Structure 1
Amino acid sequence: MAVTAATCVVLGLGLIGGAVTGSWLTGDDADGPGSPGAFTAAGELWHGVPVDRLFPPTVRGDGAGPGGSDRTWTRIAVAPDTGCKDAFDPLLRQALAPVGCLRLLRATYVDATRSHVTTVGLLFTKADAAGMTSLKARFRKEGLDRRTDLLPLPYAAKGTDAEGFGKNQRASWTLSVLTDAPAVVYAVSGFADGRTVAGPQPAADAMKPDSTTAAAQAGLGHEAKGLADRVERGLRKTVTSTTEKPS
């Protein structure tokens, strides 16, 4: 019932003008990317297009794995859209509080070998462009996206490969604060067998060729980064395809 309800959640595009959205994606409008109109349009995305457009049942990650190997992820659960109270560790929730939480959408995927699970999330905030820019600057300056006490929580749906994917199973993660849209994109990955990971590692570090941690050796940094990147790209592509005017 919950998954069905979540699948019906839509990302709203009905009031968004094609020219404004195009400027957000391509920068070829007179206002340019990040203009007030484009930012406002991006913030409307959570109530008009089916959630499958944001979190496709299958995601291809050509070249997204270690050494440029290909990846394929299959969606195994979609969380009901919620607030942010139970989605982040307390300190991360506090760090994100200045931009507010308008809507949170999450889905969990498994890789082709069914050995890795990854929860990917899209947080739509209540902030204006200045607020998002300020938050991004703070995350960069203070390294908040690299601290192991500021991690997103997995969505561990019962009866799936991610059922054992809890706080102690988080192995790698990535988080990106957008400034051309009121949104935060993140992903957190772990092992599907439910093993505990003593030291989670940021995806940027786990993806380094010389990294020898369990997360790095298993490619879990690539899992988190690859899925987060493709969800962000999908968000932008959805805006373009939905608002594009016929020629």
Structure 2
Amino acid sequence: MSTEARRAPFPSFPPRPAEPPTRKTAEPPADGADTTAVTDTTAVTGAAGESPVETTTRLRPIVEPPRLDPRTDLPAADVPRADEAPADRPGQPPTAGPAGEPPAREARSAADTTAGYLPPPRIPPRPATPPPTRRRPVGAVDLTPRPGAGPPTVYAPPRPGSPETPSEATTRLRPVAARYPGRAVAVAACAVLGLGLIGGAVAGSVLSGEAGAADPRAGFATERGLWHSLPVDTLFPRTLEGTGAGPGGADRTWTRLGVAPDSTCRGKLDPLLLKALEPVGCVRLLRATYTDATSSDVTTVGMVFTEADPASMTALHARFTTEKLGERTDLLPGTYPVKFTVAAGFGDQQRASWTISVLTDAPVVVYAVSGFADGRKITEPQPAAQAMQPSGTTAAAQAGLGHEAKGIEERVERALRKNAATATEQP
């Protein structure tokens, strides 16, 4: 069997001529020429003056795909097919064909070249280990060193006898200042010396008489003139708020009904009370009358500005406390009835409860007296301290008139102390 017979997958057809055949015309045969040759030429070229006709359509050669070795999945370029002769191995002589014929590979190459067929190009073998083409997962960290980073730092234990050197630099620490015990001792000595200097200056001012500027008598002189230097609404506010001033801690609100013109104490106070105030004297008497939110109670509050000094006011306060002059019914303070108001009938017969307070930090005596707004007469008046007792059974105690007198007196006194302190501080 020839080489062309073994290459079954590829069709056997004559090679394509490099140039088209030359047209020939029929000429009369010469004498003695072979007519058979002319007849054959005419049969190939056709009739005179016609182009040659091909009997089949020209086909494109089909290239055989590369074969793969089933064991290694690589191109088996050197593995012979079953229908062709085994390929020659290196180091072995090529296998010869039939007698008088060249070896199989040379014969096949010559036949392919003659037929115009070129064998498919050899595909280089696939590498044994393909390069990795898998993409890095999302979020994975690339730990490969950057170009030019050099070898990684590896900790090596220090050599014997040499100081240890850290492989990585630590964070810079804030330097801590050195402590000097002597500095604390110096600060303490300066503090003691400063306190000593201040104490010496104060002692020197006292011994030299410079502290006389704080004489309380100078403050009394200023406070004694508050009755004409302060506005009426400052001495007797139009409204007084008595938070928790009522019986059982109830809140009270009092409204001013009227203010009496300033006057002397004679004829405005009971004779015995005026006699008890003679040691301190009386410069001016100020009075005002208030009523509660229900207009069922009325209260007169008054301030007696005296001529006394601090010592005299202290002595008077001690006498009222020890002799209980503020609880005697014959020392009741007077009232101030306001015309055309609920306090129009508030007179001496309507006094139900009262309180008297002698100040020691100001030359003033503050008092308050309360009664009913309906003008009823009271035969047994009761001091505010007694009428405020929870067990009180008198009319004044049941109506809370002791709370009315004490509450109004405390708030007027508190405002007076505040204004007196402000006036004393001013130059």
C-alpha spacing 1:76/1:218, structure 2 compared with 1 (3 Å): same
Residues 280 and 306 of structure 2 are in contact (CA less than 8 Å); yes or no, is this contact kept in structure 1? yes
Looking at structure 1, the residues matched to 315 and 342 of structure 2 have their Cα atoms a distance apart, in angstroms, of: 38
Aligned: 1:139 with 2:315: no
Match of 2:369 among 188, 200, 221: 188
Aligned: 1:167 with 2:348: yes
Letter in 2 for 1:155: Y
Looking at structure 2, the residues matched to 122 and 130 of structure 1 have their Cα atoms a distance apart, in angstroms, of: 19
Looking at structure 2, the residues matched to 98 and 44 of structure 1 have their Cα atoms a distance apart, in angstroms, of: 19
Shift of 1:34: 8.4
- Bigger RCO of structures 1 and 2 (CA < 8 A, at least 6 apart): 1
Aligned: 1:206 with 2:391: no
Letter in 1 for 2:285: L
Residues 222 and 423 of structure 2 are in contact (CA less than 8 Å); yes or no, is this contact kept in structure 1? no
Residues 40 and 181 of structure 1 are in contact (CA less than 8 Å); yes or no, is this contact kept in structure 2? no
Looking at structure 1, the residues matched to 323 and 251 of structure 2 have their Cα atoms a distance apart, in angstroms, of: 33
Instruction: Provide the residue aligned with 2:288 in structure 1.
Output: 107
Normalising by structure 2, what TM-score?
A: 0.48
Decide which moves more: 82-91 or 234-243. 234-243
Looking at structure 2, the residues matched to 203 and 54 of structure 1 have their Cα atoms a distance apart, in angstroms, of: 22
RMSD over aligned CA atoms reads 1.9
Residue ranges of structure 1 left out of the alignment (5+ in a row): 1-29
Looking at structure 1, the residues matched to 339 and 313 of structure 2 have their Cα atoms a distance apart, in angstroms, of: 34
Instruction: Provide the residue aligned with 2:198 in structure 1.
Output: none
Decide which moves more: 145-154 or 84-93. 84-93
Residues 170 and 190 of structure 1 are in contact (CA less than 8 Å); yes or no, is this contact kept in structure 2? yes
Letter in 1 for 2:409: A
Instruction: Provide the residue aligned with 1:12 in structure 2.
Output: none
Match of 1:176 among 357, 369, 375: 357
Looking at structure 1, the residues matched to 363 and 249 of structure 2 have their Cα atoms a distance apart, in angstroms, of: 31
Match of 1:70 among 251, 258, 269: 251
Looking at structure 1, the residues matched to 343 and 267 of structure 2 have their Cα atoms a distance apart, in angstroms, of: 17
Looking at structure 2, the residues matched to 87 and 151 of structure 1 have their Cα atoms a distance apart, in angstroms, of: 11
Aligned: 1:58 with 2:235: no
Aligned: 1:153 with 2:334: yes
In the comparison of the two structures, how many residue pairs are matched? 216
Residues 34 and 179 of structure 1 are in contact (CA less than 8 Å); yes or no, is this contact kept in structure 2? no
C-alpha spacing 1:227/1:34, structure 2 compared with 1 (3 Å): farther
1:174-210: per-residue Cα shift (whole Å, max 9, x none)? 0001111110000000000000011111001100111
Residues 336 and 346 of structure 2 are in contact (CA less than 8 Å); yes or no, is this contact kept in structure 1? yes
Instruction: Provide the residue aligned with 1:96 in structure 2.
Output: 277
Letter in 2 for 1:173: W
Tell me the SS of whatever aligns to 2:341.
Answer: coil
Letter in 1 for 2:395: A
Aligned: 1:41 with 2:222: yes
Give 1 or 2 for the bigger CA radius of gyration: 2
Shift of 1:243: 6.8
Instruction: Provide the residue aligned with 1:219 in structure 2.
Output: 400
C-alpha spacing 1:129/1:243, structure 2 compared with 1 (3 Å): closer
4+ residue segments displaced more than 3 Å: 239-245
Instruction: Provide the residue aligned with 1:7 in structure 2.
Output: none
Residue ranges of structure 2 left out of the alignment (5+ in a row): 1-210
C-alpha spacing 1:98/1:242, structure 2 compared with 1 (3 Å): closer
Letter in 2 for 1:44: G
Tell me the SS of whatever aligns to 1:195.
Answer: coil
Residues 207 and 221 of structure 1 are in contact (CA less than 8 Å); yes or no, is this contact kept in structure 2? yes
Tell me the SS of whatever aligns to 2:277.
Answer: helix
C-alpha spacing 1:242/1:135, structure 2 compared with 1 (3 Å): closer
Looking at structure 2, the residues matched to 162 and 174 of structure 1 have their Cα atoms a distance apart, in angstroms, of: 19
1:40-90: per-residue Cα shift (whole Å, max 9, x none)? 332231221101101011111111101110000010010000001122111
Shift of 1:35: 2.7
Instruction: Provide the residue aligned with 1:129 in structure 2.
Output: 310
Looking at structure 2, the residues matched to 241 and 89 of structure 1 have their Cα atoms a distance apart, in angstroms, of: 33
Decide which moves more: 155-164 or 65-74. 155-164
Structure whose residues are more often helix by fraction = 1
Normalising by structure 1, what TM-score?
A: 0.82
Residues 206 and 213 of structure 1 are in contact (CA less than 8 Å); yes or no, is this contact kept in structure 2? yes
C-alpha spacing 1:127/1:181, structure 2 compared with 1 (3 Å): same
